[in-house]
Chains A and B, each alone.
Chain A
Amino acid sequence: MKFYPRLSQANEIIKMTWHEFFAYRVDFFLKSIIPIIVFFLVKYFLWLNIYTGNGNELIKGMSFQEMMQYHLWVLATSLVILGTNSFNMAQDIRFGKITPFLLYPMPYAFHQMAVFIGQTIFHFFVIFISFSFLIGFNLIDLPVDTITLILSIPYLLLCATMWFIIQFIFGAAAFWMEETWVLRIMFIIVAEFLSGKIFPLTFFPQFFQNLIYHLPFPHFSYFPVMVLMQKISFTDLSNYLVSLSWQLIVLILIASKIWRKGINNYTAAGM
């Protein structure tokens, strides 16, 4: 496989993904601002009430302000890490929409990955612009350390790759199962809790924290947020990177085996 053609293919797919984003102007603005509005409406008022009811005392060592900073980073990291394009993969398999991709001299997973990267870069800019605006006008209080931010990018990319691979595996289940959405929704609900997206993982008992720290889930929210909030040392971060890399290798091998088996089951329905 030559590297340069693959690079130019990825570049073209990413451009197409962006063209698609801009094709629907209303949809584009809704995608950009809705997550931030939801954040303020739901999480802000929810935690405000919890803290007010608690006499504005610290909860698990976190003040209201720190909790809000935590959730702002959760919002930012989930838009970058938790892409949604492979959600459609199961539907594409079920209704035979992957057929054209199987005819191209380019792996389907490569196409999906390039779309995922396109979405991730797009979301990164949405977050960058909207957060700059909110911080610039003193609407939110979010300390940002530029060096930490730059150093955390490779880690965030690995976390995003992990999410993509897991979603790919769930999507590929459609080669055998007629409906995979229940499976996917169950996974997302579990992931929301165990990743620290709903509340910090320190809210769980210590033994449970020790258990889930060895699973992929904390890499989707909690660890990246802790890195960006500078609450994790570089030693811890390197440990997380090693464990994440191993998990990623295992998951890539599983995904590749499932794809190879699944594609031989493919019937290209509806063609």
Chain B
Amino acid sequence: MEYSIEIKNLYKNFKSYQKSPGFKGSLKSLFKRQNLIKSAVKNFNLSVETGEIIGLLGPNGAGKTTLMKILTGIVVPSTGELQVLGYNPTLRENEYKRKVALVMGQKTQLWWDIPALDSFHLLQKIYQIEDKQFKDTLNELTELLDVSHVIKVPVRKLSLGERMKLELMAGLLHKPRILFLDEPTIGLDLLAQKNIRHFLLDYHKKEKTTIVLTSHYMADVEALCQRIVLINNGEKAFDGPVSTFHQLLGKNKNIIFSFSSPITNSDELKILNQFNPSWDEEYTQVEISIPEEEFINVCKNVLNNFPVSNISSEKTPIEKVMQSFLARNHS
């Protein structure tokens, strides 16, 4: 089995300081500051196979972006072993930089005031891409992303969705072997998100590029990733296939009942209380989590005793699994 990324016992500590509020606090901090050491990544181990797509998940401040920064060589780890495509990213070798790309949803690498095509020509020179390869890749990506009409427009005049497509193009022009994606669909509307996901899947199918993704949109992770790595407080909390992640909370099924009138009777409410119900404000809709073996009986019971107007059942959404898993580990 060939691995593109191998991390062993990785740590990253950041130093910051604490300041008391108010004028007095500001004055005091001029002379004495209380230093804080925050461990953004703790004892982290990870192996990523070549051609795999993995999703780094976790709440804000969990350490996933720090991990991405370390893998791309932007930030230097405190201790630990790290190999990406056989290189140590910390050394920031040009050969390594030619083989990876980082696309950030919240940072642009395109020159703001001029058309993206000019930035692409600069990237051609930076990555020393042959003219023919550059033209072929440019044409191919322009077609796949459907951006021929915006490529010559100054970047500042483009919509977020168009800009994001061009950011992806900029990252892929040199055909990286590993693509790091940090929140690639952030702020995009549903259609634009879907387009980006489709493009990434098609591109991966064709090029077999290893992709490491962080996203707050679970739809990204579910659509793209074969494997999830959950990070919490800098530590790895879960590492496995998406299907296994869904079963972390047991074999429960989620079901939503809608009612034609509000349910206010305490006896009626009691029936549902054992299934961790989540009611809407009007008490006309409830979501419950039912163990698989009791599913039929509970449904029958509810249908017989409540004014049910609609039922929908789905597997537990990935964000819910994540929230519950983190809450359970926290307690």
Q: Is the CB of B100 within 8 A of A103?
A: yes
Partner pick for A103 among B74, B122, B154, CB 8 A cutoff: B74
Closest to A264 in B: B76
Within the complex, the shortest CB–CB distance from A108 to chain B, in Å, comes to 11
Q: Is the CB of A105 within 8 A of B97?
A: yes
> Chain A contacts of B104 at CB under 8 A?
99, 271
Give B118-138 as 1s and 0s: 1 = Cβ < 8 Å from A's Cβ atoms: 110110011110000000000
> Chain B contacts of A266 at CB under 8 A?
74-75
Q: Is the CB of B114 within 8 A of A23?
A: yes
Closest to B95 in A: A105
A-B contact count (CB 8 A): 78
Give A16-49 as 1s and 0s: 1 = Cβ < 8 Å from B's Cβ atoms: 1001100110000000000000000000000000
The bracket for how many chain A residues form the interface is 20 to 34
Given contacts A8-B125, A9-B126, contact A19 B65 (CB under 8 A): no
Q: How far is the CA of A97 from the CA of B118 in the complex (A)?
A: 19
> Chain A contacts of B125 at CB under 8 A?
5, 8-9, 11-12
Instruction: Say if the beta carbon of A106 comes within 8 Å of chain B.
Output: yes
> Chain A contacts of B92 at CB under 8 A?
102
Q: Is the CB of A97 within 8 A of B154?
A: no
Q: How far is the CA of A102 from the CA of B109 in the complex (A)?
A: 11
Closest to A104 in B: B126
> Which residues of chain B in 254-270 are interfacial with respect to chain A, using CB atoms and an 8 Å cutoff?
none
> Which residues of chain B in 72-86 are interfacial with respect to chain A, using CB atoms and an 8 Å cutoff?
72-76
Q: How far is the CA of A266 from the CA of B114 in the complex (A)?
A: 28
Nearest first, the 9 A-B pairs at minimum CB distance are A105-B94, A100-B109, A23-B113, A105-B97, A12-B125, A19-B114, A9-B125, A12-B122, A268-B74
| Pairs A–B under 8 Å by Cβ, sample size 29 | A5-B128, A9-B122, A9-B125, A9-B126, A12-B121, A13-B122, A16-B111, A16-B119, A19-B118, A20-B111, A20-B113, A20-B114, A23-B113, A96-B107, A99-B102, A99-B107, A100-B109, A102-B73, A103-B72, A104-B97, A104-B126, A104-B127, A105-B97, A105-B128, A106-B126, A264-B76, A266-B75, A268-B69, A270-B106
> B residues bordering A, Cβ < 8 Å?
14, 65, 69, 72-76, 92, 94-95, 97-98, 100-102, 104, 106-109, 111, 113-114, 118-119, 121-122, 125-128, 154, 182
